Structure 1
Amino acid sequence: MSDRIAMDIRQLRYFVAIAEQGSFSRAASLLRIAQPALSMHVRNMETDLGTSLLFRSPRGVVPTEAGEILLRNARIILDQLATTEEEIRVHDNNPRGEVCLGLPGTISQILTVPLITAARARYPNIKLRIAEAMSGFVLGWLREARIDLGVLYRDAADSGIATVPVLEEELVFFGPATPRPGMEISMEISVEGEALDYGLIAALPLILPGEAHGLRELLERQALMAGFELNTAIDVDSYSNIKELVASGFGYSILPLNAIAREVAAGDLRSWTISRPALQRSVRLAHALERPMTNAVAAIEALTREVLRDLARTGRWVGATILPEEPG
């Protein structure tokens, strides 16, 4: 027997067909292959195995004792292969497994419930777990492989992380409905809804997230590019606390429109758009390039993109616009 046996699935199928048909010609017709080529495959198998597999007679062919062993195991192998192929097809159509998605807190408030609802309805065999933190922590979790997917507010300066822009949300300037004495904005620019220059806003006492926060970094970067500094009076990472401090008259702030839409509608806060420059931030889906994406992860990634766009399209994410898909 040779040291190396080189049989493949095709040869096993050919051998089973010959044994079951009892004829090279009938097997060749069934397999739609030339009979000489079929005979050559059998000769190659017999050479590799060092024994005869078929007994040839005028009435046809039957397996030898060695051929019966091969036939029995070949059927098992082919059956297992067929079962595996079917499982893969079912898995592709009905993925299963656990997927962990990292979300910044402000996005989690908007996205978590509709996404879990959609995932339960469409992919009942996927367990979706949400991990919530500031955008910078979400990026760190991706790098450490602690989560499968993340939503970030900016592109990652990291060759190992791929990000795809999905939405863009507007940032707005806002203040208390009734400012404290001495905290009023000049009357000539105080009409609610009008656009205020970022340079004017930067000089006012601002209540902003801390320097480690992604929004603060964006605001600082835009101010630096425009040639001025922010007059930050209070650092607070919590959006709810920022809004409460602003409503109490301790200063002004800049947050996503969606974060203050309810308080503005209730008359607790006043808002202005920002100009020169207008401020927006992108919402991006991210995953680690070095980790293979399972069917379950790919399904949740596509569903997350779909739900994000639906939130913007239906107005449930106030101030968000859908970005065009990047060619891939």
Structure 2
Amino acid sequence: METRRLANFIAIVDCGSLTRAAARMNIAQPALSQQLAGLEASYGKQLVLRSRQGVTVTPAGQALYRNAQSLLRQLKQMESDIKSAGDHISGHVSIGLPVSCAPILAMPILKAVRERYPQILLQISENMSGMLGELILNNRLDIALLYGTHGAEGLLRKPVLVERLCIVSRAEFIRATPGETIAVRQLADVPLVLPSHSNGLRTLVDAAFARHGLTPNLVAEIDSLSSLRGAAGQGLAATILPRSAAGENADGLHVADIVEPSIKRTIVLCKPSAQPASGPVEAVEALIIEVINDLVTSGKWQGVTLK
């Protein structure tokens, strides 16, 4: 099967429209429709459902989409490996970072890759952990840092850090001196802005409060790190974040570790288990571990413990 037809099918799914996919892939729409019909005839399955709003991928189409992505990535990497055999490590490597980790990790990783492997083209995606889990399972990412058990099936997992969560607030809600801790029961009446239930952090917070028979005094749900921090900075409410994302000493914020119980989550480095990692992916993976170790041991990444 021509790789071009697979690439065009991926574009149809990504764009959700034959018209937009045809424009992206620089192909006439009738020709693209004919290619799609040929794929459906080859497999004896309907791959997408067409409507005036665009296309919706079927379960069979999802299976082809995942496998086509994996196949094209492997072919691309094979070509790069052959061309660079005996030369410097080169190729394309995509990594995913959770939104709360990206501020402290993205630039050190980019700098390390540029210095050590200048011929590797690095792609960095910031997103919620759950979305990154879906992307790596769909072969859209080579490596991802995920929280907890996201994407447990079909992934090789290496726990790298345990991250502690903190209360982040202006003095009118919480006044904390450096090194001070706050018990969960002390937060019973503190107004909080937290992520929605789709975020794993919220699940951990709710469970910690439930151990005391409490529920968070919730005033808003916000699925944005900058907005959570902004709400705390403007004194609208307190929030709960990892220390690396808290912005301590900014906007007059006070930050204190939460105890009794402490709220922790494990950060896991993941990659697909379906095929062996390429040389560039293995090189970047080792470099990510090295960067994380340096940030923690140097004290630049606080509120975490190496696994």
TM-score by length of 1: 0.63
Alignment deviations for residues 69-106 of structure 1 (CA, whole Å, 9 cap, x no partner):
xxxxxxxxxxxxxxxxxx88x74883321111011122
1:210 to 171, 196, 202: 196
C-alpha distance 157-244 of structure 1, shift in aligned 2 (>3 A) = closer
Partner secondary structure for residue 265 of structure 1? coil
Note the alpha carbon deviations across 1:123-144, whole angstroms, 9 max, x for none: 2222111111111110000111
Matched, 1:235 2:229: no
1:82-161 counterparts in 2 under 5 A? 91=85, 94-156=88-150, 158-161=152-155
Larger radius of gyration: 1
Query: Paired residue for 2:160?
Result: 166
2-structure distance, mates of 1:228, 1:92: 62
Name the aligned partner's letter for residue 297 of structure 1. Answer: V
Equivalent residue number for residue 260 of structure 2: 276
> Which residue is equivalent to 2:63?
none
Cα displacement string for residues 225-260 of structure 1 (whole angstroms, at most 9, x for unaligned residues): 554322221111222222222232222111111222
Instruction: Give the alignment partner of residue 304 of structure 1, picking from 262, 270, 288.
Output: 288
How many residue pairs match? The answer is: 225
Structure 2 partner of 1:15: none
In 2, are the aligned partners of 1:202 and 1:230 still within 8 Å (CA)?
yes
- What is the CA distance between 1:312 and its match in structure 2? 1.1
Partner of 1:229, secondary structure, is coil
**d(CA) in 2 for partners of 1:282 and 1:170?**
9
Q: Which amino acid aligns with 1:214?
A: G
Residue 222 of structure 1 is matched in structure 2 by: 208
Contact 2:184 2:208 in 1 (8 A): no
Match for 1:114: what amino acid?
Answer: P
Q: Distance in 2 between matches of 1:291 and 1:199?
A: 48
User: Does the 8 A contact of 1:92 with 1:295 survive in 2?
Assistant: no
Instruction: Indicate if the aligned counterparts of 2:146 and 2:270 stay in contact, CA closer than 8 A.
Output: yes
Q: Which amino acid aligns with 2:256?
A: W
SS at match of 1:285: strand
Hey, what's the Cα distance between the residues in 1 that align with 2:302 and 2:119?
A: 32
1:125–1:207 distance in 2 versus 1, CA, 3 Å: same
SS across alignment from 2:198: coil
Give 2:276's aligned residue: 292
One-letter code of the match for 1:129? Q
Show the counterpart of 1:47. none
The AA in structure 1 aligned to 2:287 is: L
Q: Distance in 1 between matches of 2:191 and 2:240?
A: 11
Tell me the percent identity: 33
Alpha-carbon spacing, 1:92–1:251, altered in 2? closer, same or farther (3 Å): farther
The separation in 1 between residues aligned to 2:256 and 2:297, in whole angstroms, is 23
Contact 1:155-1:163 within 8 A present in 2 as well: no
What amino acid is aligned across from residue 113 of structure 1 in structure 2?
M
- Relative to the length of structure 2, the TM-score reads 0.67
Give, in whole Å, the separation in 1 of the partners of 2:195 and 2:269: 23
Provide the rounded CA distance (Å) in 1 between the counterparts of 2:134 and 2:86.
30
Shift of 1:194: 3.2
RMSD in angstroms over aligned alpha carbons? Answer: 2.3
Relative distance call for 1:316 and 1:191 in structure 2 (3 A) is closer
- Unpaired runs of 5+ residues, structure 1, are 1-86, 324-328
Matched AA of 1:204 = V
- Separation (CA, whole Å) in 1 of partners of 2:214 and 2:156: 32
**In 2 relative to 1, CA 134–156 (structure 1 residues): closer, same or farther, beyond 3 Å?**
closer
Q: Secondary structure at the match of 1:95?
A: coil
C-alpha displacement of 1:266: 4.6
Contact 2:176/2:254 (8 A) holds in 1: no
User: Structure 1: which amino acid aligns with 2:209?
Assistant: A
Cα drift, residue 213 of structure 1: 1.8
- 1:18 is matched with which residue? none
CA contact (8 A) 2:176 2:255 kept: no
